[in-house]
Structures are given as structure tokens and as C-alpha cells.
Amino acid sequence: MHRSGRGTPPNPRLLLVLPTSTYRAADFLEAARRLGAEVVVASEEEQALSGAMGDRSVRIDLCDPAAAADRIVSTVAPLDGVVGVDEQGVIVAAETAARLGISHNPPDAVSITRDKARMRGVLAAAGLQQPAFRVVGLSDDVAAVAADVGFPCVVKPTSLAASRGVIRADSAAEAVAAAERVRAILADADEDQHGLLLVERFVPGAEVAVEGLLRDGRLDVLAIFDKPDPLDGPYFEETIYVTPSRLPEASQDEITRTVHAACTAIGLVEGPVHAEVRIDGDSCVLLEVAARSIGGLCSRALRFGAGISLEEVIIRHALGRDPGDLQRTKAASGVMMIPIPRAGVLRRIEGLDDARTVAGIEGLEITVPSGQRVQVLPEGDRYLGFIFASGVEPAGVESALRAAHEKLSVDIAP
């Protein structure tokens, strides 16, 4: 057991650092319930939770991880495990675990994954293949830096996630405009608009997402997702994920080695990992590594062993238990993040029942309520919902997702 503190309650106590904006609260709480864990939630707002034994909550400031960890320790310890559910909470989770002596990633390693410029420097020092890059400050000549990196290039914030604020530029003028737009997006997200930006050489080729679990520095790859839609810009909206990958086995082995090497260079040793990689010819180019699991509701496309969820795998590991059989249970599965076609106010989405009847479709969930304002990338930070499918082969899963999406009619008022 990982418990730190006094007393030994009959059920393990699990802390979920759960940003209020996350989609994933219900799935993690259900996984904890199945495992008989008592849940404590740390978030920006007090949570009124039900359905898990002995639930408690503590309000924290996610922007001040050290103070948040101190408050958690003084308020809700002892704990047996800590999980940072989404990108915003991973540093708080690491700081809390470090204070309690609970097995987790070092806080500094997690901090590296939250700062793309710092991560680029660490990976460069380790000699890993990644895009050519430069870091630019507010007073730097973006046009000159972009020309030095080479066109096409990508301008992006050092923070944010889910492709928000990531813009391709094919000329010096476009790079300057992109930098201005990224800074406006940062301001809208309450991030530092005057801080550093990244300018990276655009890497062509197929892109994949890697879902993994680190155990004492060893990486178990849980899934490699193909992204069959081209991600060439100018914005990088992800839509379809399908696993298993259709890349050659040699390419998949190289992807695994690359992600493992990146985790080692950064200092990640425990817990979930989500990475993005591009295959450019014979080259495996690392785009990003995050110390968390896949975002949104995409994890519902995965089941392991006797049908356990990714959330249950993560919680078992966090509590010091054997995560069990990590082999996926289905021949092929996938998810489509339903894109927002244009900005405005969502009126309605029609055709849901027809989409659900498409062969191979296992679920469809809309996550944006009618009447809510929606925004497209690069300013936007969410999708309309998620479609899930399974089948014998990846190609059939992809076809089912596309067919279901074609049944939908999205009405957005200007």
C-alpha cells in the first residue's frame, strides 16, 4: 500500500485532481467505485459528488501547484494514490505525491511536459529526433526566426493542449500573423500572452498517438492510434483515432523506442503517458509527450484484459496494484471527435439516432449542450462530442465512424 499518514481505513483512498472543465470525471469515478476506492477530489471549485464511497472534495488553485499540494496534504491526507486526470492537474498531482511519499513522477519531470519549449530543450540535449525549433520572445523578430527554421513552419504556444493555438505558416508574413494570433489566444485562455512561443519546422507524414503506462521507468504501450485524416494545417484539428495501427511493425517498434527514450530523457517513470509522433519517410519524429492519459472521452475506445477501462488501469497502478492484463480486448476500435464546423451558437444536432444505427457504432455522446457558444480551432478547445466504433479491422472501424458522422446535421447560429 502507498498510504502516508495515520490510520488504515478498510478502503484505499484515492485523490483525483480533477479540473472542472474535464470530460472525464464520470469515467474516473466509476472506475474508482469498481475498485472500492474512497475518492477525494481536488479541483478549482467544491464538488457535489455522489456515487462513490465517502467522497470528499478540496478546493485548490491549479495555477499554484505547490500551495495546492500543501492544502491537499493538510486537509485530506492520508492517501494511497494520486491521479492527475487532465493536463491542468498533473503538476499538482505530482507535487502532492512527492510530499506524501507516494510513487509518482517527479514534479520537475511533469513540469517539463507542461512547457513545450523546455521539453524541446531536454529532448534536443538527449539527441532525440524532433522538429527543428526556435523559441521566440515578445521582442524577437518572428519573421527572421521562422525563415531560419524553414518553411513551412508551425507557430505554437508553450502551454495549452488539444492543438489550441497551433498554426502553420508558409511564409514570413504568415508566421508574424500567426504569432500575433497565438498571443491573442493565450490572453483569452488567461495564459501569459507576453511569454515565449515556439516556432517549429513543419514535419510532413502520418501522425499517430501513443497511449502508454510507465511502471518503474518501463513503458507498456497500451495502444498506437492512427490518425487517418491528414493533419497538414493551417490548423490541426484531430478527428479520427483508430487502433491497432496499420503502420508496419518495424515503424511501430521505432515509435515505441522513441517514446520510451523521450520519457527517460524527461524523467518520467510512473503512470500514464500520451505522446504524438509523426512518421516522415523512414524517420520517427517526436512531437509531444504528456504525463497523462488520452483526453476527452477517447479512452472509451479502449478496453483491456477482461474488459477493464483505461481509467481502471490508471487507478490500479496509482494504488500500487497490478494493473492486470494490458492487452486490448477488441480486434479494432476507434473514436471520432465530432468537429465544430463553424463558430457560433449551437442550436441542435440532428440525425443522432440514424448515426447510432450504423453497423459497428458502439456509442455516440454529445458533450456540448444546445444554446452554448462554440468556437473552431485554433481558438477553440473542445469538440461537439464523440462517436465510438469497433470491428474486425481498422479500415472497417474508420468507415463506420465516417458513415455515422455523415448522418449528423449540425445547426449553428451565426
Nearest-angstrom CA–CA distance, 235 and 377:
7
Q: Are 117 and 135 in contact (CB under 8 A)?
A: yes
- Cα 181 to the center of its chain, rounded Å: 23
- Cα 396 to the center of its chain, rounded Å: 25
Indicate where the chain has its CATH 3.30.470.20 domain(s): 331-414
Q: What is the pLDDT of residues 201-255, one digit of tens each?
A: 999 999 999 999 999 999 999 999 999 999 999 999 999 999 999 999 999 999 9
- Look at residue 48 in the predicted model and tell me its pLDDT: 41
Position 170, amino acid: D
Residue 30 CB partners (closer than 8 Å, separation 6+) = 51, 309, 311
306 — phi, psi (to 5°)? -90, 25
Check pLDDT > 50 for residue 404: yes
- Look at residue 111 in the predicted model and tell me its pLDDT: 97
Q: Mean pLDDT, to the nearest integer, of 1-9?
A: 46
Nearest-angstrom CA–CA distance, 399 and 406:
11
Q: What is the pLDDT of residues 24-33, one digit of tens each?
A: 899 999 999 9
Round the average pLDDT of the chain to a whole number and report it: 93
pTM summary value: 0.93
Q: What is the pLDDT of residues 378-396, one digit of tens each?
A: 999 899 999 999 999 999 9
- Look at residue 56 in the predicted model and tell me its pLDDT: 82
Q: Are strands 13-17 and 81-84 parallel, antiparallel or unpaired?
A: parallel
Q: Mean pLDDT, to the nearest integer, of 50-70?
A: 78
Considering the segment(s) 132-201 as one domain, its CATH architecture is 2-Layer Sandwich (3.30)
- Look at residue 4 in the predicted model and tell me its pLDDT: 47
Residue 230 CB partners (closer than 8 Å, separation 6+) = none
Nearest-angstrom CA–CA distance, 113 and 291:
7
Q: What is the pLDDT of residues 259-282, one digit of tens each?
A: 999 999 999 999 999 999 999 888
Q: Are strands 133-136 and 197-201 parallel, antiparallel or unpaired?
A: antiparallel
Nearest-angstrom CA–CA distance, 99 and 199:
36
Question: What is the sign, positive or negative, of the torsion defined by CA atoms of 69, 74, 80, 83?
Answer: negative
Cell of 203: 514535419
Indicate where the chain has its CATH 3.30.1490.20 domain(s): 132-201
Q: Name which of 302, 360, 328, 333 is nearest 240 in CA terms.
A: 333
- Give the DSSP per-residue string, 363-387: EEEE-S-TT-EE--TTT----SEEE
Beta bridge partners of 79: 4
Q: Are 90 and 104 in contact (CB under 8 A)?
A: no
Q: Name which of 18, 26, 21, 23 is nearest 366 in CA terms.
A: 23
Q: Are 214 and 269 in contact (CB under 8 A)?
A: yes
Helical axes 90-100 vs 65-76, angle rounded to 10°: 50
Check pLDDT > 80 for residue 162: yes
Q: Name which of 275, 153, 244, 242 is nearest 204 in CA terms.
A: 153
Nearest-angstrom CA–CA distance, 359 and 361:
6
Q: Name which of 258, 310, 266, 312 is nearest 283 in CA terms.
A: 258
Nearest-angstrom CA–CA distance, 309 and 286:
27
Mapped onto helix, strand or coil, the DSSP state of residue 371 is coil
Mapped onto helix, strand or coil, the DSSP state of residue 105 is coil
- Provide the residue count of the chain: 414
- Look at residue 315 in the predicted model and tell me its pLDDT: 97
- Look at residue 55 in the predicted model and tell me its pLDDT: 52
Residue 324: pLDDT band (50, 70, 90) is: confident
Q: Name which of 215, 276, 222, 269 is nearest 244 in CA terms.
A: 222
Check pLDDT > 90 for residue 53: no
Nearest-angstrom CA–CA distance, 337 and 229:
12
- Look at residue 130 in the predicted model and tell me its pLDDT: 97
Could you say which of 3.40.30.10, 3.30.470.20, 3.20.20.410, 3.30.9.10 is the CATH number of the domain covering 331-414?
3.30.470.20
Cell of 375: 468556437
Nearest-angstrom CA–CA distance, 174 and 149:
14
- Look at residue 46 in the predicted model and tell me its pLDDT: 61
Q: Which residue has the cell 454529445?
A: 366
Check pLDDT > 90 for residue 23: no
Q: Are 186 and 156 in contact (CB under 8 A)?
A: no
Check pLDDT > 80 for residue 298: yes
Domain 13-112 has CATH 3.40.50.20: yes
